[in-house]
Structure 1
Amino acid sequence: MTVWDALVGQDSVVSTLTAAARAAALVTTQGPLAAARAGMTHSWLFTGPAGSGLAVAARAFAAALLCENSPPGCGQCPGCHTVLSDTAADLRTVRPEGLSIGVRDVRALIRDAASAPSAGRWRILLIDDADRFTDSAANALLKALEEPAERAVFLLCAPSVDDVLPTIRSRCRSVALRLPSVDDVTAALVREGVDEGLARMVAQASQGHVGQARRLAADPQARARREAVLRLPSRLNRVGDCLAAAADLVDAANADAQAANADRDEAETEALKTALGVGATSAGTRSTSARGGARAGAKPKSIQVRGAAGALKELERTQKSRGRRTVLDSLDRALVDLAGLYRDVLAHQLRAGVAPVHPDHAEAIERLAATATPEQTLRRWEAVLATRQTLADNPGLVPQLTTESLALALRDA
């Protein structure tokens, strides 16, 4: 297997990145100028819809840049292996732990970029969700892109070029990914050992989102949560039913976040306490008698490390922000499933003849189609999409109120 095998349905992107990695290899024999003339550049912007594999493509390219063999990207050498496992000395990865990427993270990244590679040919800085930069962070990054270090390579991932400042995207070479087809995702899952029938169902349900397809195939609880979301339209009879359905949706998102982050939060907190010495004791703090001996029964005192409370409070804020981000991401996945259902209902009403997103819910789709007009279905579909956009644009909103408003809108459309 090569590093490119993880990319599903992205043949043109693989060709572009392979050619660039070959050009980048010239830096060893002919210098950075020769590599630049052959098509290598210091700044790359990977764009595409969620699930298309932005981070996978960026990491595969990073592995190819540090590959020790030819053609680059063998997937077997230490350079490829350490990048794919995120242990490479010359790779730094920045992921937003919360709702945004702050200037402190970017300044640390710039300091890394100024360092010479320690093992490979390049110093690589990979930034997930580059659309989440704060203004000050984006301005700090712009300075580094304008005057890049000789051996530094920035790999930015964002949903679209419009989500990145014009001054940043103008200094990057753009690589556009697309959502893979259902056949591509199905074939990839079958190669991974998933039953073909299940693979095709989850490939359709995920609407080309490779990560979500893998999650549905591997996790029965994820499939159960999807079933609960798709039953929501049949529950919206009275106002109380709408509020209860919205509460269930938010509770499921909170449960997702708790399951995803609980172990990690606990491990981070314990690691920080250990590093700071919080809870440790010192025998030197015991009271002593006049003859120099320790007083009988005296207990050691806990060591108080200066700044420990502030560090723990900062970690708590980071974890809380990350938890909220996870809740919003889980809600977004639920809304994508719901939008797909109304899309199927509208297609059935208009006899559009297109492949359904949720073929395993054909009876529910027929029932919803028979009890509403196409105009009502379209309004409901638009309400779901508008709610997704509202939550994306205003992450500070209370999810409970937003989903309650959606449930009432679906009932009254």
Structure 2
Amino acid sequence: MSVWESIIGQKPVCDMLSAIATGDSSKLAQSWLICGPPGSGRSNLARAFAAALESPDHGLDAEPTRVTRQVLAGTHPDVSILATDKVTIGIDEVRELITVSEQMPSTAPWRIIIIEDVDRMLERTTNVLLKEIEEPAEHCIWLLCAPSAQDVLPTIRSRTRIVNLAVPQPDAVAQWLERSNGIEASVAEQAARLAEGHIGIARLYATDERVRSERDELVAGVLNLQRASDAVLLADRLNADAKSQAEHDVERVAAREQADFRRINGLGESDRIPPKLRGAYNAIAKKDEIKRKATRRSRDVLDRALNSIASVYRDVAVLQNNAEESVGIINREHRAAIAELAAGMSRQGAVARLDHVAVARKRLNGNGNPLLVLEALFCALL
């Protein structure tokens, strides 16, 4: 299938970018800002666009070319991808990319630089990037990704061509889960609905029953909040679950990276690491690095939990405004409890609780203590 068929719910954008990739290169902008909410597929779209620009078939053949496979896998020598699990993107990383951008492509028509989550750059880092975005090297294309144009500095916005992605519809996500991941139809429908258009989370819910179960328990806990003690206990459980899941995920990735390192270097599981490779190998399992990645992953888990909490009060507002038939509710499994909550809460109360969730998200993003932030949130939701 073509590179565009793997992009979910973005047909108008895919058609536009495909036409540009296959048309006159003189009409091609060299600096792009691809914007879309988390899970909309902005990073995948950037890779697909890069593959369409670099591959001789422009990414259209049913059987992907070697160039297309390399670009999508992140291994093409002329396509550099900066993705980070840190809170911010470092200035040295950007300077290194700038050096790469000034080199001529080795095998493809373009030198392409993709920066995921460009909104994680501090202002001084963005200023380093600015000149290259404004006057890119002749054979270089920059593809920047961010949740929205407002999340990057105006100086970057004004020097890029902006592409805005839509939130994928649940039906499209569910069909993709069935087609590409072999998920049962009922599970795919539920996962797509609970993910609220986030493709990655939809896949997670569809393939990990434990994560779905934890979300269900969280929603039930929110609906049953009665006393301050309930709020404290729920906060403690959610914080502990987030830490446990993050540590497990990061350790699993580190183990896989170590196994890949051994395989690439022709080493068996029990073979001793040669002295000249020991530094690179140890860096993979460095405790400080694993701890840092686990902290970042824990924030992602908590962010997903905040979305689930907000969905409860979104559903309350939907029922209060008699809008279920037109927009539906997300937490169908808890409809009776949500209807009871909606009957006993004012419309202003539902909106206020959504504001409380937004404040908690802001505090977590500002490095607030997760347990204290969650305790304050759940007490505010009583």
Question: What's the TM-score once normalised by structure 2's chain length?
Answer: 0.88
CA distance in 1, matches of 2:273, 2:6: 49
- How many residue pairs match? The answer is 370
Given the alignment, which residue of 176, 186, 202 partners 1:197? 186
CA apart distance, 1:234: 3.6
Q: Which residue number corresponds to residue 217 of structure 2?
A: 228
Alignment of 1:318-329 (within 5 A): 318-329=289-300
TM-score by length of 1: 0.82
Residue pair 2:118, 2:144 contacting (<8 A) in 1 also? yes
Partner residue, 1:362: 335
State the match for 2:319 in structure 1.
348
Is this contact kept in 2: 1:22–1:72, CA < 8 A? no
Tell me how far 1:381 sits from its aligned partner: 2.4
Cα gap change, 1:72 to 1:140, in 2 (>3 Å) = farther
Query: Using the alignment, how far apart are the partners of 2:373 and 2:59 within structure 1?
Result: 51
Q: CA deviation at 1:348?
A: 1.7
CA deviation map 1:283-340 (0-9, x unaligned): xxxxxxxxxxxxxxxxxxxx9x9xx7xx969965444332222111111111111111
* Unmatched segments (≥5 aa) in structure 1: 27-34, 283-302
- Residue 112 of structure 2: which of 120, 124, 127 is its match? 124
Asked if 1:334 corresponds to 2:305, the answer is yes
Residue deviations 1:19-75, cap 9 Å, x none?
22113xx5xxxxxxxx22xx2121111001111110010010011111122575766
Query: Match of 1:231, SS?
Result: helix
Letter in 1 for 2:248: A
Letter in 1 for 2:359: A
- The corresponding residue for 1:389 is 362
* Distance in 1 between residues matched to 2:59 and 2:151, nearest whole Å: 34
Matched, 1:247 2:236: yes
User: What residue number does 1:155 align with?
Assistant: 143
* Equivalent-residue separation in structure 2 for 1:214 and 1:347 (angstroms): 26
CA contact (8 A) 1:43 1:154 kept: yes
Provide the secondary structure at the position in 2 that maps to 1:124.
Answer: strand
* Higher Cα radius of gyration: 1
Task: Output the CA distance in 2 between the equivalents of 1:236 and 1:123.
Answer: 54
**What residue in structure 2 maps to residue 260 of structure 1?**
249
CA distance 1:51–1:312, change in 2 (3 Å): closer
Query: 1:188 is aligned with what amino acid?
Result: W
How big is each residue's C-alpha offset from its partner over 1:217-239, in whole Å with a ceiling of 9 and x where there is no partner? Answer: 11111111111211122442222
Alignment-mate amino acid for residue 336 of structure 1:
N
2:122 paired residue among 114, 134, 144: 134
5+ residue gaps, structure 2: 266-271
The verdict on how the C-alpha distance between 1:8 and 1:313 changes in structure 2, with shifts beyond 3 A counting, is closer
What root-mean-square deviation, in Å, do the aligned CA atoms of Structure 1 and Structure 2 show? 2.8
Amino acid aligned to 2:10: Q
| Secondary structure of residue in 2 paired with 1:126 | strand
Greater shift, 233-242 or 116-125, is seen at 233-242
Kindly tell me: are residues 138 and 319 of structure 1, through their superposed partners in 2, closer, same or farther at Cα, counting changes over 3 Å?
farther
Other-structure match for 2:195: 206
Aligned position for 1:409: 380
Match of 1:373 in 2: 346
| Deviation of 1:186 (Å) | 2.1
The residue type paired with residue 116 of structure 2 is D
The alignment partner of 1:153 has SS state of strand
Taking a change above 3 Å as real, the CA distance of residues 247 and 75 of structure 1, as seen in their structure-2 partners, is: farther
Relative to 1, partners in 2 of residues 1:379 and 1:367: Cα closer, same or farther, differing over 3 Å? same
Q: Which residue of 1 aligns with 2:67?
A: 79
Q: How far off its partner does 1:250 sit? A: 0.9
Specify the code of the residue in structure 2 equivalent to 1:380. R
Secondary structure at 1:178 match in 2: coil
Residue equivalent to 2:86: 98
Distance 2:255 2:59 in 1: 43
How far did residue 131 of structure 1 move? 0.1
**8 A contact 2:173–2:192 mirrored in 1:** yes
* Equivalent AA in structure 2 for residue 391 of structure 1: L
- Could you tell me how far apart the structure 2 residues matched to 1:281 and 1:52 are? 41
Distance in 1, Cα, partners of 2:59 & 2:214: 44
Aligned-pair identity (%): 35
The one-character-per-residue Cα deviations of 1:72-125 (angstroms, maximum 9, x if unpaired) are 576611110111111111111111221000111001111111111111111111
Structure 2 contact 51–58 (Cα < 8 Å) conserved: no
Alpha carbons of 1:312 and 1:190: their partners in 2 closer, same or farther (altered >3 Å)? closer
> Which residue is equivalent to 2:3?
3
Distance 1:202 1:167, change over 3 A: same
Task: Name the CA distance, whole Å, in 2 between partners of 1:240 and 1:164.
Answer: 41
